[in-house]
Structure 1
Amino acid sequence: MNDQDAPLRPDIRIGLVLINHFTLNCVSELIEPIRFAADISFLSRQIFCQWEWMSCDNQPVTSSCGLHIVPTAEFNLHSNWDYVVFAGGLLDQTRDVPAWLLEAMRDLHARRVPIITLCSATFMAAQAGLLEGKKCAIHFTTRDEFRERFPNVSPVIDQTYISDGGVISSPVGTARDLAMDIILQHCGELRAKKVQKYLLMDEGKRGQTRSRVAHPLKTYDDELVQRTIAYMQQHLASPEPLQTLTTAMQINLRQLNQAFLHSTGDTAAVHWRKMRLEHARKLMIASNVSINNVAKSCGFSDASHLITWFRKQYGETPSDYRKRRRDVERLIAPN
C-alpha cells in the first residue's frame, strides 16, 4: 500500500464512558458537532473523528430519560484516546464511585490523557483527587453539595466549561462550546464553520459564551513550563539551540527537562519539535508555500528534515497531508 492509498489518520479519537443514568443532553451536545466534523457529508462516517461508547461493566447502560445504550467497545482506558469522556447524570450514581474506577481515572490523568467530565461526573474527578486546588464548571443546582464535599475545589456556575490541570469539566446542557473548541483545535476552522452552518449555530453568540471560558484546552501547572512554551511559540521559525532556550529561562537543561517531563511527558526538545511540526501542518493547509519554505518557517534545516519528522509524527508526508486535506476542503466548502 502506498501513501496515497493509506487511510486517513483521524484528527480526534474519543472514548466515552457512560455512567448509569447519564444525562443524554450533555452527551449529544458534545458528540453531535463532532459527528458533523467527522465526515465530508451527512453520512456520519467516522473518518476524521472517531469515538467509542463504553460502560464500566461492558453491559448496556440507561440514560436518565430511559434510553438504553449498548456499548460499542469494551471498557479500556489504555487505548490511544485523545480524550476520555465520563458522562454523569443523576447524582446517586456519581456520589460514591467504586475505588477501582477512581484509580483508573487517576491512572488516566497520570498518563496525561485529557479527561472530560460531563454533568455530575465532575463529582467523580473530585473524588479521585484530580481537582484539588483547581477550578471546575458545575451546575448551579449541585454547587452547595459540591462545595461541602470538596472544600479545596473551586466550583464555577457561570461558564460553559473549564479546563484546569488536565480535567475539562462541563455542566449539563453546555458541552456544545467545548465540542466546537475541540473541533477548531484538532480539525481546523473550515470544518468548524461547516458544523456551525449545519447545526444552525449563531457564531456571534457563541463567541460571547467562549469569552467566559477560564482556560484554554491545554494548560500546565508549572509556571516555568508555561513561560518556556510561550518562548518556544515565539521562536518556531528560528532553529535555535537548546542552550539559547535555557539561557532565556535562566535554568540548566537537566532542570528544564525534568519540568517538561513532569508536565508534558516529553523533554523540552521533543516538545519544541512537536510544536514546530504542528505549525508546519497548519501552514501546509493555510498556504501554498513550498515544503522547503515551510521547513524554514518552522525551524527545520530543509524539506528532507521536515519530511522525516512529519512522517514519524503523523504517519504521512507533508505533501500527502496537504493533498488529502485540500480534497476534503473542496468537498465541504460552502457553495
Structure 2
Amino acid sequence: MQHVSSNAYDEVSPPPESLSKIKPDLRVGFILMDKFTLAPVSGFVESLRFAADQSFRSLQIYCKWDWMTYNNLPVNASCGLSVNPTKDLDLKELKQNYDYIVIAGGLLSETRKPPVYLLETLKEIHAARIPIIALCSGCFVLGNAGLLDGRKCAIHFTTRDEFVGLFPKAVTLIEQTYIEDHGIFTCPGGTAIDLAADLIRVHCGEIRAQKTLDYLLIQQKPLHSQDKEKTTLDNPSTYENNMVSKAIAFMSENLSAHVTLKEVAEHVNTNPRQLNRVFLANTNEAPANYWRRLRLEHARKLLANTSAYITNIAIECGFSDGSHFILWFKKQYGETPFAYRKRRHGVDKLK
C-alpha cells in the first residue's frame, strides 16, 4: 500500500449552497434492531463517513446515511449505547431514498421473532429490487421474511446450528466475511469494513475506497474474483428473468458500440416491444433508460479512476458527443462530469 501524508486528503469542501445540488453516490438506510451489535455497524458507517467528503468534517456529501428502528423509538446496542432514530421507518421513503437497506441485528432474543410489520417491509423492499444487507443476526430477520430461501448466506459459527434448524432452505456458509446472492448481502459480524469498502469502490470509485482503508488503518488483501461477488448495476444475476439477464450482459459488452435496441432484442430472441415489457416488469424502467444508466455508471467510474478526457469518455460510453454526455450526466447525478471529477480527484494526491 502506498503511504500518504497526514494532510493528503485535507481539501476544501464544496460551499454549503452547492451541497444540496450534489446527488450522493451511495445512500444507506440503517434499521437497527434493539440490542444490535455495535462493531459491524460502526465499521460500516465509519467507512461511509470517510468516503463522504473530501476532508474529515463528517459532511454527508458523496455518501449519506440515516438511522431507523422498526417502531421509530430509540434502541440500545448490546453494549448499552443508546441510539435515537434520525428518520421514521416509512416504506415509500425506503424505496425512493436509499441504494441499500441495512438490517442490523445482535442478540438473538431480538431477531428470532421480529415484528410482522418489519418482515413485510423488507419483503416490499426486496420486491422493489433494493439490495438488503444483514449484519450479524440480521440474517435471522431475513430468514423469517423468507428472503434467504435457496440463497447463500454468511452465518456466524456460533449461531449456525440454530439458523440451519430454523431456515433449512437457506444455503449457510461460515468463515466468510460477507456473501451476496441476488441482492441479499449477509455479513456475520466483525467490523464489516471490507463490505463497506467494496460498496464504496463500486459506487464512489477506487480513490474514496482507498481513502477509507488508509484512515481506518486497514491493510487490504488482494481480492480475487472467485472470492467475493460484487453487486453492480451491470451484474446480470441481479435479475432472475433470463431474457433480462442476457440483455443486460449484451448491453454491458457493447457500451461504446452503436447497437440499437432492436439488435439487443434480436440477441435475446425477442422483439423490442416484448423486451420493453419484460424490462419494465423486472427493472421498473424501459431498456433504453437502463442502458443509458449503464453507460453513465461506467462513465462515472472512468471519471473517478482515470485521467481520460471527458470527450473521450463520452465516446467510449456510447454518447454521440461531449455535450450530449454532459447533459445526461448532470441530469442523473446533479453535477457536471468536470465537477464530479474535480471533487473526487481532490483527494487524489498520489497521481
TM-score, with length taken from structure 1: 0.90
Match of 1:62 among 47, 58, 76: 76
The partner residue of 2:252 within 220, 230, 233 is: 233
Which stretch has the larger CA shift, 38-47 or 108-117? 38-47
C-alpha displacement of 1:54: 1.4
Residues 32-86 of structure 1, C-alpha deviations (whole Å, 9 max, x = no match): 2111111222322222211111122222111111111122222234320111111
The one-letter amino acid paired with 1:271 is Y
Which amino acid is the alignment partner of residue 119 of structure 2? L
Report the Cα distance in structure 1 between the residues aligned to 2:320 and 2:119, rounded to whole angstroms.
Answer: 46
Aligned to 1:329: 347
Contact map agreement 2:198 2:230 (CA 8 A) in 1? no
For 2:66, the equivalent position in structure 1 comes to 52
Asked if structure 2 preserves the Cα contact closer than 8 Å seen for 1:53 and 1:71, the reply is yes
Matches within 5 A, 1:253-264: 253-264=272-283
Cα distance in 2, alignment partners of residues 5 and 247 from structure 1: 48
Other structure's SS at 2:180 match = strand
Alignment partners' CA distance in 2, 1:90 and 1:286: 41
How far apart in 2 are the matches of 1:28 and 1:211? 28
Shift of 1:302: 1.9
Task: Tell me which residue corresponds to 2:313.
Answer: 294
Q: Is the 8 A contact 1:160 1:174 kept in 2?
A: no
Structure 1 residues 283 and 207 mapped into 2: Cα distance closer, same or farther (>3 Å)? closer
**C-alpha displacement of 1:287:** 4.2
The aligned length equals: 327
Match of 2:11 in 1: none
* Structure 1 Cα separation of the partners of residues 16 and 28 of structure 2: 26
The 1:231/1:261 distance shift into structure 2, 3 A limit, reads same
Residue 125 of structure 2 is matched in structure 1 by 108
Q: In the alignment, which residue of structure 2 is the partner of 1:308? A: 327
Alpha-carbon distance change, 91 to 287 in structure 1, aligned in 2, over 3 angstroms? closer
Shift of 1:93: 0.6
- Which residue of structure 1 aligns with residue 235 of structure 2? none
> Is the 2:101–2:132 Cα contact (8 Å) retained in structure 1?
yes
User: How far is the alpha carbon of 1:143 from its aligned partner?
Assistant: 1.4
Structure 1: distance between partners of 2:108 and 2:245 = 36
Contact 1:162 1:168 in 2 (8 A): yes
SS of residue paired to 2:262: helix
The structure-2 alpha-carbon separation of the partners of 1:132 and 1:236, relative to structure 1 and needing over 3 Å to count, comes to: same
Separation (CA, whole Å) in 2 of partners of 1:224 and 1:88? 36
**Structure 1 residue 134 and structure 2 residue 151: aligned?**
yes
2:182 alignment partner, one of 157, 162, 165: 165
Q: Structure 1 196/287 Cα, relative in aligned 2: closer, same or farther at 3 Å?
A: closer
Alignment of 1:1-335 (within 5 A): 6-7=18-19, 8-79=22-93, 80-173=97-190, 175-204=192-221, 207=223, 212-213=227-228, 215-218=229-232, 219-326=238-345, 328-330=346-348, 333=349
Q: Distance in 1 between matches of 2:308 and 2:194?
A: 33
5+ long unaligned stretches in structure 2: 1-14, 233-237
Residues 89-139 of structure 1 deviation map (CA, whole Å, 9 limit, x = unaligned): 111111111111111111111111111111111111111121221111111
Deviations 1:265-321 (A, max 9, x none): 222221111111112223334444444333221112222322222222112222332
**Partner AA of 1:28 in structure 2:** S
Structure 1: 5+ residue runs without aligned partners?
A: none
Identity %: 48
How many angstroms apart in 2 are the aligned matches of 1:193 and 1:287? 15
Instruction: Assess if the C-alpha contact under 8 Å between 2:207 and 2:344 holds in 1.
Output: no
Give yes or no for contact 2:206–2:305 (8 Å, CA) kept in 1.
Answer: no
If asked which structure has higher relative contact order (CA below 8 Å, sep 6+), I would say 2
Tell me, what secondary structure is at the counterpart of 1:129? coil
Deviation at 1:17, TM superposition (A): 0.9
Give the conservation status (yes or no) of the 8 Å contact 2:208–2:344.
no
Which SS does the other structure have where 2:190 is aligned? coil
Whole-Å separation in 2 of the counterparts to 1:148 and 1:258: 40
Cα pair 1:4 1:320 within 8 Å, conserved: no
What is the alpha-carbon root mean square deviation over aligned residues?
A: 2.3
CA distance in 1, matches of 2:184, 2:219: 27
> Which secondary structure state, in structure 1, belongs to the residue aligned with residue 39 of structure 2?
helix
For the residues of structure 2 that align with 1:179 and 1:252, how far apart are their CA atoms?
40
Amino acid at match of 2:112: R
| Residues 81, 120 of structure 1: alpha-carbon distance in 2 compared, 3 angstrom cutoff | same
> 1:165 deviation in Å?
2.1
